Amino acid sequence: MPIVMALIAGLLFGAGLIVSGMANPAKVLGFLDLFGRWDPSLAFVMAGAIAVGAIAFFIARRRGRSLLGTLIQWLSATGITTRLVLGSAVFGVGWGLAGFCPGPALVALGAGVPKAIGFVVAMLAGMAVFSAIERKR
């Protein structure tokens, strides 16, 4: 059952990315172009996602288990670290250069967007490099 629910959640997330325009790199780059032809529409998408997420976290904090009965595990790290700042910066630079972040890139790849192929390949290579570095640590 958890696999089926994960599939449904993934399909819903992907559909939301398509409907909101977040899988369209031109739309994302328009949102990030604060001093040019700024498109504020994705700010409303993000605000809506934050609102829904905040409600979901509020409810989840009061429960010990998910609706499917699995234990809810919370992260223990709460501090701002150098790794967090650097990772956020790399994410932001990649998002600004390509107009993709991982979720929308996978949706665009599935939709056959050529630009997504290069992004996903680079993303997977970055994940492999990170994994190799972490194993050596």
Which tens digit of pLDDT belongs to each residue from 43-59? 999 999 999 999 999 99
- Please give the pLDDT value at position 68: 84
Which pLDDT band holds residue 135 (cuts at 50, 70, 90)?
Answer: very high
Cβ-proximal residues to 55 (8 Å cutoff; 6+ apart), any chain: none
Average pLDDT over residues 105-126: 92
Distance CA 130, CA 49 (A): 28
Distance CA 29, CA 22 (A): 10
- Please give the pLDDT value at position 75: 84
Average pLDDT over residues 20-35: 89
The rounded radius of gyration (Å) of the Cα atoms in the chain is 17
- Please give the pLDDT value at position 88: 93
**pTM listed for this prediction:** 0.77
